[in-house]
Amino acid sequence: MHRSMCRVQSGPFVYYTCRRLPVRHAFTTKYGGVSTGHCESLNLGFSRGDEEASVRENYRRLAEALGVDEKRFTLTRQIHETEVSVVGEEQVGMGLHRPMAWRSDAIVTALPDTPLCGFYADCVVTLLYDPATHTAGVAHAGWRGMAGGILPKTVEVMVARLGARRESLIAVLGPSIRQECFETDADVPEAMERLLGVAVRPYIREKGAKFHVDLQGIGVKLLRDAGLAPENVIDSGLCTMCHSDEFWSHRATRGVRGVQGGVICL
């Protein structure tokens, strides 16, 4: 785990934070909610077979623990693409209290008291914050989104639409499946090389007939190439599959699981 990451426990509620982010934020774990069965206990996904009332109560508890307004939670809709949306007042609450109007794996905002939430259960969720302009974002990336450049695209939208400054922007890559556990067939590294070129090769290791992809290493490189200072790009170092006692891992559970959230709120 990166030295700036902290494990926080308050009663049954467990989450991780990063000391580099001076705003309310969290990478949630399984713990702290009311869901039961394969979604026990802090499931934040409405499409996992959980009771809707339980999921809504989980959001209420999460909001209470973080000191944010549950009615202003605004969610991503994750389809493994690279759309980035700006959250204005008319979009606040989408995905939780009003219908979703976007198909965006990344959302960004300059609005205060507006918690943004992206979801993970092996994929990389990255929280972004610029202290110079007080703007924030959350981006979800599986291998397709990472290869498509969703992280630098999120940076570009924050710069162009919100005035964020690359030199002060901070990005934290959350708990996610790491290279040793992320085993794929050849189609994944081949697809990533088609999109990113030979620069991706150092992050792909061949093991027999299989390949192991370093999604976090690729994400760090892409963010630095987008103009972020090396010291402002933090990889949490936490593997969801290695720590499947605390995190849901899609691979470890073969898809029978709940979902965690990466949350940031100005």
pLDDT higher than threshold 90 for residue 11: no
pLDDT score, position 236:
98
**CA separation (Å) from 243 to 106, 184, 236?**
25, 20, 13
Instruction: Give the DSSP H or E segment for 14.
Output: strand 13-18
Q: Is 188 helix (H, G, I), strand (E, B) or coil?
A: helix
**CA separation (Å) from 89 to 50, 92, 231, 239?**
29, 5, 33, 35
What would the mean pLDDT of 195-209 be, rounded to a whole number?
92
What would the mean pLDDT of 73-88 be, rounded to a whole number?
96
Rounded-to-integer distance, Cα 94 and Cα 104, Å: 12
List pLDDT tens digits, range 85-107: 999 999 999 999 999 999 999 99
Sheet (strand 183-184) strand order: 183-184, 210-213, 204-207
- Whether domain 5-265 has CATH 3.50.50.60: the reply is no
Task: Specify the residue for token string 């290869």.
Answer: 147
pLDDT higher than threshold 90 for residue 195: no
Beta bridge partners of 98: 94
**CA 186 to chain centroid:** 25
pLDDT score, position 49:
94
Sheet (strand 13-18) strand order: 5-10, 13-18, 24-28, 260-265, 116-120, 74-75
Please report, for the chain, the start and end positions of each structural domain, with discontinuous segments joined by +: 5-265
Q: Is 185 helix (H, G, I), strand (E, B) or coil?
A: coil
pLDDT higher than threshold 90 for residue 253: yes
Three-state DSSP string of 132-156: CCCEEEEEEECHHHHHHCHHHHHHH
Full-model pTM? 0.97
pLDDT score, position 191:
87
- Percent of the chain surpassing pLDDT 70: 100
Distance in angstroms between the alpha carbons of the first and the last residue of the chain: 25
pLDDT higher than threshold 90 for residue 136: yes
pLDDT higher than threshold 90 for residue 246: yes
pLDDT band at 58 (very low <50, low <70, confident <90, very high): very high
What would the mean pLDDT of 49-59 be, rounded to a whole number?
97
pLDDT band at 74 (very low <50, low <70, confident <90, very high): very high
pLDDT score, position 10:
87
Nearest of 4, 30, 27, 1 to residue 248 by alpha carbon: 30
DSSP H stretches of helix in the chain:
52-66, 143-148, 150-162, 187-196, 215-225, 250-253
List pLDDT tens digits, range 167-190: 999 999 999 999 999 999 999 999
pLDDT score, position 113:
98
